[in-house]
Amino acid sequence: MNQLSFVLVLAVFAASCVPPEPPVEFEEPRLRRLTEQQYINSVQDVFGTEIFVPTDNEPDTRARGLLQVGASSAAISPRGVERFEAAAYTLAEQVMSDELRASVLDCALSGEVDDPCAADEIARLGRLLWRRPLTDTERATLEALASSSSAALGDPNEGFQFALAGLLQSPHFLYRVELGTEDTQGRWTRAFTEFELASRLSYLLWNSGPDTELLDAAEAGELSTEEGLDIQTERLLAATRGREGLVAWFADMMHLAKLDDLYKDPNVYLHMSDTLGSSAAGESERFFEHLAFEQEADLRDLMTSRTTFVNREMAALYEVRAPAREGYGMTELPADGARRGLLGQTSFLALEAHPVSTSPTLRGKFVREVLLCQTISPPLADIDTAIPPVTEEAPTLRERVAQHLSDAGCAGCHEPMDNIGLGFENFDGIGRYRTQENGAPIDASGLVDEDAFADPTELASLLRVHDDFAACLVKSFVRYGGGQGEEEAQLEGLDWLHSAFSARQHSLKGLLDEYLHSAFFSQAGELEPVGPQDTTEDDSDE
Amino acid sequence: MSKTPSRRMILRGLLGGSAVAIGLPVLECFLNESGTALAGETSFPKRFGLFFWGNGTLPHLWTPEGVGQGDEWQLSEQLASLLPVKDRISVLTGFEVRVNNEIPHYSGAAGFLSGHAPLGEEGDNTFAAPSIDQVIAAEVGGQTLYRSIEFGAYPGGGLSYNGPNSVNPPESSPYLMFERLFGTGFVVPGDDPVIDPRLGLRRSVLDAVLDQTHELRARVGASDAARLDQHLSGIRDLELRLARMQENPANLESCALPSMPPSDDAIGTLSERHRLLVDLAVMSFACDQTRVWSDLFTHPVHNFVFPGTDAGQHQLTHDELDPQPMVNDTVKQAVDEFRYLVEALSAIPEGDATLLDHCAILATSDVSLGRVHALDEFPIITAGSCGGALKTGIHYRSETRESASSVMLSIVRAMGINAASFGGDDAMVTDGLSALET
């Protein structure tokens, strides 16, 4: 309670210097397909962590920089339907196995028509999986599936698998159905329902579905009250999964999932290994978690903090002592070293590079697009992109890419990227520190807009205070929470949230608190339902 | 039209408990709906396959010398390995993909394969319209277990689109592809399927899911309705497949259970992975499990470091100095994978001819000259005559930068589909490429 009270006191204090929240309009609400991690979490929260969850059912896709936004436009392919169906039976079979059944079900099934145990369990598990109570018709259909399957197979536990599989491959499970309804409180035209707010909150904070208590709070109408929302927010943040959802936001923003497929030529990078990608992702996640949750620091310190977390592999790469024999330990990077902040970490340095070399362009582009939310046009067609070879006159990449910057046709787009990206040249394609390239000293100076820097630590300081950085964090957070990119009608609201975030010392908890009490969390956009369809016509197009 | 109610009745009857009654009499209503049983067909089905590699060619080393038929033209530097199959392919050069080249690599792939410029910004793009494999699958895919199969040696990516934001992700594990196509439930011709009551129960679960999806569809907006339509179509595909798995398979002479591929970590090279996938895909045609597949050897912007080169292939296309010997080598490696595919299809006899003769195979990339992301001189090769509808053994060179879409329209029509046009806007054509058609 004390954390929240502190937050509330701050909110009152901050309210005096932040303008009132302006009205915003939102796009039509969209179904959000569970991401792979959400699918895993949602299943394990209901059935326990021992259960094996099949993955690779349908790849997540990225939009507006985030998988969480891609989830609002991605469909489910025929192969995806096939895999989700197979996964549903893999899960159902495990749940009904002798090992797991007793820990999931609260009663013993009889397999008879009108089996009260089957009815209760369908209602209870259905409410958790579909994140709302089932309608009478929905329950009746699943009960009929359970009893007829039990009869056909002569075993109530085998038969119940088919009801479970029905729950698990339903669109009500695979998509987050948050469509909104008429706002009964008169704040806006439309708002999300109590149960939809429960989902929005739990996926934001846990990256998983709501638990029974949260659904109960929704059922009691508590989530559309400020107090009720605060109580549940605090409870969710204090739970085991309490940091998982917001760390997932950070991981999504930083594209950390791509590190699973990190691909480097081991002949060039002797420190490359099969585990380097996941080691680097783990470092960045732990770094963020510590800074945002344990220190409750200014999020802009992501650029400059020298406190990070390394396992043995990362310690070797960074040439620091491994603080822990196993897993990650906290380490303080040398105060006079070039490496600090998120952009001194292998996660960024290796992802934004080629398999055999660095890429100032990719690194600069990432800073511009992901951290500053700026737009860089793709290269024009019919432009020769060749970089000249290493020569005695041009031993380092800086001299070689100088061509991009001297050619007026290239410079317009490349200068803003390369002038930042060259600042990371002290780090090779997997993030190892170096002072020379091909025997020549590396010059890591550059420019951020009009401001010159001499090395990566100065670059980090410039980015920390760049106007667009904090604003971009806010944009990314809102995109993540709502699953949509921002539109013109929200820009004023985003500016307001940015100033509220500033007034809260740029802390993650401040941003979360302001967001949850704003229209961004509870207001729904206009929806024009397509209405029922003639199903005979629909089925004839096979 | 009456199929849906009757199918639902069958399913509900099944739920009454007589699951063992599932068998041929029930399933014939599906067969009748879908048309021909293969055993009764006098001609072999037509199939379509796409072979795709990323990051283009070196056009001056790609284009053959001479035009015409037989000895009138000679294979080029990059096409040299196609010599054993020269009479079974047609090389088409000088074509242009007519879309705005706004998103390097992606505009070319979408522009050629779908005939429409892609939607979205760089990094989160989608095709605006179905890709050619799905245009064809929409017509012929309903007659087989799988509407289409997508696979690729280099993991990830996806260029088979049902429509906007609806990609069919490729399978890159030969083991998983084997399990899917030839694992549990696969019946070798001549054998009877094992009657499994669970298949019927799974179908009744799918029926409930179908109803839920329809109900949800009514409550969402138009763009979500389009997504759910894709979902619904996948559910119906799966229902139909579960029904067909209880049918006796068609008696296809060349269909045989392939050997189980090695596990993924036992596969050494990209080429080995690709050829294992191709072997399975070829057999999926021979067993008529699908009539459409797409094969992504590599995908646009892939940065794989090929054997014998010293950088990622995408980086090489941009940075290697002229005359780009390593890029040349990687293009030749991709072409050699295509040769393998063509020979594998040719090795399967079907009647008096080969499987390849009943196929239209299209080989292409996302750009021509990778360094500048060019969309003229687009690389296009076809293989197989598609039952005599397409010419083989020719090099046709367009002197007027014809639209690449004309090749697509010829292929769609060769597959027996009565299409009026292919593509949209500047890339739309209403005439096929007569030089390719017989």
CA atoms within 13 A on the CB side of A262: 30
Q: A59–B122: do the CB atoms touch at under 8 Å?
A: no
> What is the number of helices (H) and of strands (E) in chain A?
25, 10
Report which DSSP code applies to B426.
Answer: G
Tens-digit pLDDT profile for residues A193-231: 999 999 999 999 999 999 999 999 999 999 999 999 999
Residue A205: closest CA among A540, A445, A521, A527 = A521
- List of chain A residues whose C-beta atoms are within 8 Å of the C-beta of residue B19: 152-153
Residue B370: closest CA among B326, B339, B337 = B326
To test the contact with chain B by mutation, choose from A149, A174, A176, A361 the residue with the greatest count of B C-beta atoms within 10 A, namely: A149
The mean pLDDT of A182-198, rounded to a whole number, is 95
Q: Is-contact B285 B41, C-beta < 8 A?
A: no
Q: Which of residues 72-91 of A touch B (CB under 8 A)?
A: 73-82, 85, 89
Q: Is A56 left (phi over 0), alpha (psi -120 to 50) or beta?
A: left
Residue A109: closest CA among A154, A71, A139, A66 = A154
- List of chain B residues whose C-beta atoms are within 8 Å of the C-beta of residue A531: 218
What's the pLDDT score for residue A386?
74
Report which DSSP code applies to A28.
Answer: P
Q: B208–A142: do the CB atoms touch at under 8 Å?
A: yes
Could you tell me how many residues make up chain A?
Answer: 542
Q: Is A44 left (phi over 0), alpha (psi -120 to 50) or beta?
A: alpha
Chain A CB within 8 Å of residue B219 CB: yes
Tens-digit pLDDT profile for residues A502-518: 999 999 999 999 999 99
What's the pLDDT score for residue A380?
73
Predicted-assembly ipTM surpassing the 0.85 threshold: yes
Tens-digit pLDDT profile for residues A229-273: 999 999 999 999 999 999 999 999 999 999 998 999 988 999 999
Chain B CB within 8 Å of residue A326 CB: no
Token duo for residue B266 = 């036992």
Counting as low any pLDDT under 50, the low residues of chain B are 1-41
CA atoms within 13 A on the CB side of B51: 28
Q: Which of residues 145-164 of A touch B (CB under 8 A)?
A: 145, 148-149, 151-153, 162
Q: What angle do CA A32, A105, A100 make, to 5 degrees?
A: 90
Smallest Cβ–Cβ distance between A78 and the set B225, B233, B319 belongs to B233
What is the rounded distance in angstroms from the CA atom of residue B312 to the CA atom of residue A268?
Answer: 12
Chain A CB within 8 Å of residue B218 CB: yes
Among A51-65, A335-349, A404-418, B143-157, which is the least confidently predicted range? A404-418
Q: Which of residues 269-328 of B touch A (CB under 8 A)?
A: 303-305, 310-312, 315, 318-322
What is the rounded distance in angstroms from the CA atom of residue A76 to the CA atom of residue A87?
Answer: 14
Report the SS3 class of residue A193: coil
Banded pLDDT at A541 (limits 50, 70, 90): very low
Contacts of A380 (CB under 8 A, 6+ apart): A409
Q: Which amino acid is at B143?
A: Q
- Residue A373: what are its φ and ψ, rounded to 5°? 55, 35
Report H helices in B298-437: 313-319, 325-346, 405-414
- Searching chain B, which residue's CA lies closest to the CA of residue A380? B102
pTM (predicted TM-score): 0.91
Q: B166–A77: do the CB atoms touch at under 8 Å?
A: yes
Q: Which of residues 266-295 of A touch B (CB under 8 A)?
A: none
Give Cα B77 distance to the centre of its chain. 27
- List of chain B residues whose C-beta atoms are within 8 Å of the C-beta of residue A385: 318-319, 371-372
Smallest Cβ–Cβ distance between A383 and the set B180, B234, B372 belongs to B372
* pLDDT > 70? residue A13: no
* pLDDT > 90? residue A437: yes
* pLDDT > 80? residue A542: no
What's the pLDDT score for residue B28?
36
More confident call, A522 vs A391: A522
- List of chain B residues whose C-beta atoms are within 8 Å of the C-beta of residue A381: 101, 104, 372-375
To test the contact with chain A by mutation, choose from B106, B107, B220 the residue with the greatest count of A C-beta atoms within 10 A, namely: B220
- Searching chain A, which residue's CA lies closest to the CA of residue B13? A148
Q: B104–A79: do the CB atoms touch at under 8 Å?
A: no
- List of chain A residues whose C-beta atoms are within 8 Å of the C-beta of residue B217: 530, 533
What is the rounded distance in angstroms from the CA atom of residue A210 to the CA atom of residue A208?
Answer: 7
- List of chain A residues whose C-beta atoms are within 8 Å of the C-beta of residue B304: 263
Tokens 């009551």 locate to: B197
Report the SS3 class of residue A257: helix
Query: Residue B270 to residues A16, A267, B274, B297: CA-CA distances in angstroms?
Result: 63, 18, 6, 8
**A391-409 burial string, b = 16+ CB within 10 Å, else e?**
eeebbbbbbbbbbbeeeee
Contacts of A274 (CB under 8 A, 6+ apart): none
What is the rounded distance in angstroms from the CA atom of residue A31 to the CA atom of residue A475?
Answer: 20
- List of chain B residues whose C-beta atoms are within 8 Å of the C-beta of residue A76: 227, 230-231, 234
What is the rounded distance in angstroms from the CA atom of residue A54 to the CA atom of residue B290?
Answer: 25
Q: Parallel, antiparallel, or unpaired: how do β-strands B47-52 and B292-296 relate?
A: parallel
Q: What angle do the packed helices B3-15 and A136-153 form, to 10 degrees?
A: 60
- Searching chain A, which residue's CA lies closest to the CA of residue B122? A378
- Residue B70: what are its φ and ψ, rounded to 5°? 55, -125
Tokens 């299809």 locate to: B345
Q: Which of residues 103-142 of A touch B (CB under 8 A)?
A: 138, 141-142
* pLDDT > 50? residue A78: yes
Chain A CB within 8 Å of residue B119 CB: no
What is the rounded distance in angstroms from the CA atom of residue B383 to the CA atom of residue B90?
Answer: 6
- Searching chain A, which residue's CA lies closest to the CA of residue B141? A542
Q: Is-contact A329 A539, C-beta < 8 A?
A: no
Smallest Cβ–Cβ distance between A381 and the set B121, B147, B373 belongs to B373
* Mean pLDDT of the residues in chain A: 93
Q: Say how many CB pairs under 8 Å bridge A and B.
A: 228
- List of chain A residues whose C-beta atoms are within 8 Å of the C-beta of residue B236: 539, 542
Smallest Cβ–Cβ distance between B221 and the set A65, A527, A542 belongs to A527
- List of chain A residues whose C-beta atoms are within 8 Å of the C-beta of residue B181: none
What's the pLDDT score for residue A4?
53
Chain B CB within 8 Å of residue A433 CB: no
Report the SS3 class of residue B423: coil
What's the pLDDT score for residue A410?
80
